[in-house]
Amino acid sequence: MKQFLPVIFMVLWSPVFAQSLPRVAIAGLGIESSTFSPARTEEPAFHAKYGQEVFGNYPFLKDDNAPLRSQAVWLPAVIGKSLPGGTVTRQAYESLLGKLLDSLKKNGPYDGIWFDIHGAMSVVGLDDPEGDMIIRIRKIVGPKVLISTSMDLHGNVSKRLAENTDLITCYRMAPHEDAMETKERAVRLLLERLTNGKGKPKFKAYIPVPILLPGEKTSTRIEPGKSLYAAVAPAAAQDGIIDAAIWVGYAWADEPRNHAAVMVTGDDKQKVEAAAKDLAMHFWSVRNEFEFVAPTGNLKYCLDKAIASELHPFFISDSGDNPTAGGAGDVTWTLQQILKRKEFDDLNGPSLIYASIPGPDLVEKALQVGVGHEVEGLAGAMVDHRYAPPLKLKGMVTAIEKGDRDAEVEVVVKVGTVSVIVTKKRKPYHREADFTRLGLNPRGADIVVVKIGYLEPELYAMRADWLLALTPGGVDQDLQRLPYKRINRPMFPLNKNMPTPNLSVRWMRAADTLK
Ligand SMILES: [Zn+2]
């Protein structure tokens, strides 16, 4: 009889125990996509994960014995994360969202949903896709389910997103070194509210801030972004407040929702209101102090400086076509200008690494000839050829690597003293290993030119000097050059000397009180 006791115990108690855990879904699609780029994003770019695969995206949920795993019955639906890019096709959006909604339908009911998004998705012919997504999720799960949304601080918060989510937060660091910490917080707060019986926050304060700035001016490494974002955690830590967040917003899309925003959630109305107003007024009061994270100039100025400098490696950001902000990543203009310079023809000239340009034609030809042989082929300007045509590259193949998730095949072609990384598909180069894998040594190079905005941490740490080149492309850093038609006006700094905006709290209703 003894050995049957534990069995009976398990049979009797495990369902009861399981019922006491909240049932939580994980769902969301994330991309930052520029409407000023001719590029289009298709479904495969999202590398969607389904069901149990979803856990693999999150270190704090990955292991079966991760502390947060045991606190809920997890029902992961679909998570899709794309590199930034062009506007998502309607077909890709509907297909992915359709699978997400089907999965939610199949596995319900739910107590909570963790809605993990970026917040700056653009879809052909559809405004505010994240608002559309959450409304369609609500139609399936109902208004009572607690939804916790985690976002990038470069995302946009529309009124319908603010109304339909219960908890909401975003990163507090740019570059986003706190990305996983933010997601974990969104999950932890969701589980807390589900298990402590408090449920939906009593108050959600939303303040749209009519400021639109590029991420390259709002890094939290330097002022005034540093102090502004440093104020978020103390605001959120107060009793009666659940979370607080500031969104810089996304500057390369043209919709009414593209602007900065503040949100604070909590149960103490006065504290929620005061915290939201303080953060919004802080943002407004420092609006004139935002500068680019590095000295800027046109490309000629940056190359002249780098060639003359004694400091190496000298980094130059080819910022207008930054693929991690939504540029096509295949604008050839900058590389064309570099290859025209005589200094790089001379084998005693400065060494330069260019990262990178997609060129499936050249990659194919390099695969045929192999390392150590000369190759000639076309690269770039298949998507964004507004500034320069496809580039004919002729040089020695020094490396070929296969298997990268984004690039698929990477080839290094040496032209004079310039090592050009050519990829089959576009890929951002953010880490030292991205270069060393290809036999390149960025620390030993005189100049490194990267399609990037602000340097990611590893590159930032190795730079001897750095200039941000204001090059043309779908994410032109000079916002005055962009043809906005639909953003709200007036908008700082596009409209100079605008009057002080209304920075009072807009109280957002909970989804179960919406009509
Ligand atoms: Zn971001």
Whole-number Å distance, alpha carbon 123 to ligand 1 midpoint, is 18
Query: Both 427 and 361 in a single domain?
Result: yes
Residue 281 has pLDDT above 70, yes or no: yes
- Which residues contact residue 227 at a Cβ distance below 8 angstroms, ignoring those fewer than 6 apart? 282, 286
Show the beta-strand stretches assigned E in 370-493. 374-379, 391-404, 408-415, 418-423, 447-450, 465-469
CA of 304 to the centre of ligand 1 (A): 31
Ligand 1 centroid from CA 253, angstroms: 14
**What is residue 326's predicted lDDT score, i.e. its pLDDT?**
83
Residues 220 and 321 placed together within one structural domain of the fold: no
Q: 394 C-alpha vs ligand 1 centroid, how far in Å?
A: 36
Residue 496 inside a domain? The answer is no
pLDDT above 90: residue 243: yes
pLDDT at position 37: 87
CB neighbours of residue 197 within 10 Å: 6
User: For residue 204, what is the enclosing H or E element?
Assistant: strand 203-209
- Do 443 and 339 fall within a single domain? yes
User: What SS3 class is residue 375?
Assistant: strand
Q: What is the mean pLDDT of the chain?
A: 94
Question: What is the mean predicted confidence (pLDDT) over 498-506?
Answer: 97
- How far, in Å, CA of 400 to CA of 389, rounded? 25
- Residue 485 in domain: no
Distance 341 CA to ligand 1 centre (A): 34
Query: Is 460 contained in some domain?
Result: yes
Tracing tokens 């570059």 back to the chain, one arrives at 175
Closest alpha carbon to 439 in 417, 419, 464: 419
Sequence-ordered list of residues with C-beta below 8 angstroms from that of 196, at least 6 positions apart, any chain: none
How many whole angstroms from 176 Cα to the centroid of ligand 1?
A: 7
Q: Give kind and range of the element (H or E) at residue 139.
A: helix 129-141
Structure tokens at 77: 């639906």
Tell me if 499 is assigned to some domain: no
Which residues are bridge partners to 80 per DSSP? 29
Structure tokens at 373: 């042989």
Q: Are strands 260-266 and 241-247 parallel, antiparallel or unpaired?
A: antiparallel
Q: How far is CA 400 from the centre of its chain?
A: 29
pLDDT at 496 (0 to 100): 85
15 has a pLDDT exceeding 70: no
Cα(17)–Cα(209) distance, integer angstroms = 46
Task: Say if residue 99 is in the same domain as residue 76.
Answer: yes
Q: How far is the CA of 358 from the centre of ligand 1 (A)?
A: 23
CA atoms within 13 A on the CB side of 306: 36
- Judge whether 412 and 399 are in contact, CB under 8 Å: yes
Distance CA 289, CA 70 (A): 46
Alpha-carbon separation of residue 99 from 29, 40, 104, 247 (angstroms): 11, 21, 9, 29
How far apart are the CA of 185 and the centre of ligand 1, in A?
17
What's the pLDDT tens digit per position in 423-442?
999 999 999 999 999 999 99
pLDDT of 203 strictly over 60: yes
The burial of 246, by beta-carbon neighbours within 10 Å (0-12 exposed, 13-18 middle, 19 or more buried), is given as buried
pLDDT tens, 205-214? 999 999 999 9
Domain annotation covers residue 4:
no
Question: Ligand 1 mean position to 485 CA, how many Å?
Answer: 23
Q: Is residue 191 part of a domain?
A: yes
| Residue pLDDT, tens place only, 161-195 | 999 999 999 999 999 999 999 999 999 999 999 99
Banded model confidence at residue 280, pLDDT cuts 50, 70, 90: very high
The answer on pLDDT for 7 being more than 90 is no
Question: How much distance in Å is there from the Cα of 268 to the middle of ligand 1?
Answer: 30
> What is the distance in A from the centroid of ligand 1 to the CA of 369?
40
DSSP-derived secondary structure for 169-181: EE-S-SS-TTHHH
Per-residue pLDDT of 29-54, as tens digits, reads 999 999 998 889 999 999 999 999 99
Is the predicted pLDDT of residue 8 greater than 70, yes or no? Answer: no
* Shared domain check, 304 and 272: no
Q: Are residues 143 and 254 in the same domain?
A: yes
pLDDT of residue 2: 43
Within this chain, do residues 112 and 222 fall inside the same structural domain, yes or no? yes
CB 244 within 8 A of CB 236: yes
Same domain flag for 117 and 131: yes
Euclidean distance between CA atoms 54 and 402, whole angstroms: 26
- What CA–CA distance (Å, rounded) separates 97 from 285? 40
pLDDT at 12 over 60: no
Spell out the residues 6+ positions from residue 426 whose beta carbon is closer than 8 angstroms to its own. Answer: 83, 323, 328, 329, 330, 356, 358, 406, 407
The one-letter code for the residue type at 100 is: L
Which pLDDT does position 9 carry in this prediction? 47
> How many angstroms separate the CA atoms of 248 and 241, rounded?
21
Judgement on whether residues 90 and 214 belong to the same structural domain of the protein: yes
How many folded domains does the chain comprise?
2
Q: Is it the case that residue 273 has pLDDT exceeding 90?
A: yes
Per-chain residues with Cβ under 5 A from ion ligand 1: 152, 154
- The Cα 412–Cα 410 span in angstroms is 7
pLDDT of residue 1: 43
Torsions phi, psi of 443, nearest 5? -65, -30
Average pLDDT over residues 404-430: 96
Distance CA 80, CA 73 (A): 21
The boundaries of the domain holding residue 253 are 9-291+504-513
* pLDDT in the model for residue 325: 84
C-alpha of residue 174 to centroid of ligand 1, in Å: 7
List the structure tokens of 151: 């976002």
Name the strand (E) or helix (H) holding 186.
Answer: helix 179-195
Q: Please choose, from the candidates 269, 282, 197, the residue with its C-alpha nearest in 3D space to the C-alpha of residue 231.
A: 282
For residue 30, the CA-to-ligand 1 centroid distance in Å is: 11
Is 151 found in the same domain as 96?
Answer: yes
CA–centroid distance, 173 to ligand 1, in Å, is 9
Phi-psi region of 121 (alpha: psi -120 to 50; beta: other; left: phi over 0): beta
Residue 324: the pLDDT is: 85
pLDDT tens track for 336-354:
999 999 999 988 999 999 9
- Is the same domain home to 339 and 264? no
User: What six digits make up the tokens of 470?
Assistant: 């204001």
CA of 450 to the centre of ligand 1 (A): 18
Q: Residue 487 falls within a domain, yes or no?
A: no
What is the pLDDT, as a whole number, of residue 67? Answer: 95
- Specify whether 246 is located in the same domain as 334: no
152 C-alpha to ligand 1 centroid (Å): 5
**Cα–Cα distance for residue pair 321/303, rounded to 1 Å:** 17
396 falls within a domain: yes
State the distance from the centre of ligand 1 to the C-alpha of 24, rounded, in angstroms. Answer: 26
Query: Distance from the CA of 26 to the center of ligand 1, in angstroms?
Result: 21
Q: For 108-122, what is each residue's pLDDT tens digit? A: 999 999 999 999 999
Using the structure block, give the residue that is written with the tokens 């989804």: 511
